[in-house]
A and B are shown apart, each in its own frame.
Chain A
Amino acid sequence: NAGVTQTPKFRVLKTGQSMTLLCAQDMNHEYMYWYRQDPGMGLRLIHYSVGEGTTAKGEVPDGYNVSRLKKQNFLLGLESAAPSQTSVYFCASSYPQGGSGTQYFGPGTRLTVL
């Protein structure tokens, strides 16, 4: 099993450009998440999904959109990139069990917006 994979691994954008980050998991997990990680800020939840066709906002959703058309994929879109969106983006997935704290993370995408 590949676990959670993310595409691309690195990207440099100019302000105003758009892009889509792809997350894929092969563990048949119901829940998927997008986080960003900035120095000193820890991981912050952008959007999440509790199942195919459903999405919800997290702590820092502004400037991002998501889609979950297939259970195994969770896409994060930046419509008009801004320098403040320079960050490392992590996707994660988990089972819906109530007590579980295990989220499985992808390797991350390092995004720079100039």
Chain B
Amino acid sequence: RKEVEQDPGPFNVPEGATVAFNCTYSNSASQSFFWYRQDCRKEPKLLMSVYSSGNEDGRFTAQLNRASQYISLLIRDSKLSDSATYLCVVKGPNNAGNMLTFGGGTRLMVKP
């Protein structure tokens, strides 16, 4: 079983739609959680951190359920520019090297 699992998609949605991505992680001792965004043939970039209480950044909302070991990302009012691959990322405990474990990514395509 992969440490971080995501539905690879693609999710094809029209502009203005709301779309949600999910992610599960296997290590219950994981400490920190993040969503990264990766555009086609580009490098990954941090989109947002995920906090236990849930957090918003504009049209993006992230949620964490530690009991179910489940992370989600909700995008409201999708824009064409949101088309990208979204990577679920987990940081484990006792991590001297600040190492991250990446999911395989969920591809989003927003259509006009």
Residues of A with Cβ closer than 8 Å to B? 31, 33, 40-45, 48, 50, 56, 58, 90, 94-103, 105-108
Answer whether A48 and B104 are a contact pair too, CB < 8 Å, given A42-B87, A101-B89, A107-B42: no
CA–CA, A98 and B100, complex, Å: 12
Residues of B within 8 A of A108 (CB): 41-43
A26 to chain B, nearest CB (A): 16
Q: Is the interface of A mostly helix, strand, loop or mixed?
A: loop
Q: Quick check: A31 and B43 within 8 Å, CB to CB?
A: no
Closest to B2 in A: A42
Please state if B49 and A101 are interface contacts (CB–CB under 8 Å). Answer: yes
Instruction: Give the complex CA separation of A48 and B99 in angstroms.
Output: 9
Asked whether B104 lies within 8 Å of A41 as measured between CB atoms, the reply is: yes
**B105 x A101 contact (CB < 8 A):** no
Mark contacts of B90-110 with chain A using CB atoms, 8 A cut-off: 1 yes-contact digit, 0 otherwise: 010000111110111100000
The residues of A that contact B97 with a CB separation of less than 8 Å are 31, 33, 48, 50, 56
Q: In the assembly, what is the distance between CA of A103 and CA of B4, in Å?
A: 18
Number of residues from B at the complex interface, CB < 8 A = 25
Given A43-B87, A101-B91, the answer on whether A58 and B43 have CB atoms closer than 8 Å is no
Q: List 5 A-B contacts (CB under 8 A).
A: A40-B104, A42-B4, A100-B98, A101-B49, A101-B100
Evaluate whether A105 and B45 lie within 8 angstroms (CB atoms) in the complex, with A31-B97, A48-B97, A50-B97 already known. yes
Q: What residues make up the interface of B, taking CB atoms closer than 8 Å to A?
A: 4, 8, 31-34, 41-46, 49, 87, 89, 91, 96-100, 102-105
Residues in A neighbouring B99, C-beta threshold 8 A? 33, 45, 48, 58
Extra 10 A-B pairs, beta carbons < 8 Å, given A42-B103, A103-B46: A31-B97, A31-B98, A33-B99, A40-B8, A42-B4, A42-B87, A42-B104, A45-B99, A99-B32, A106-B43
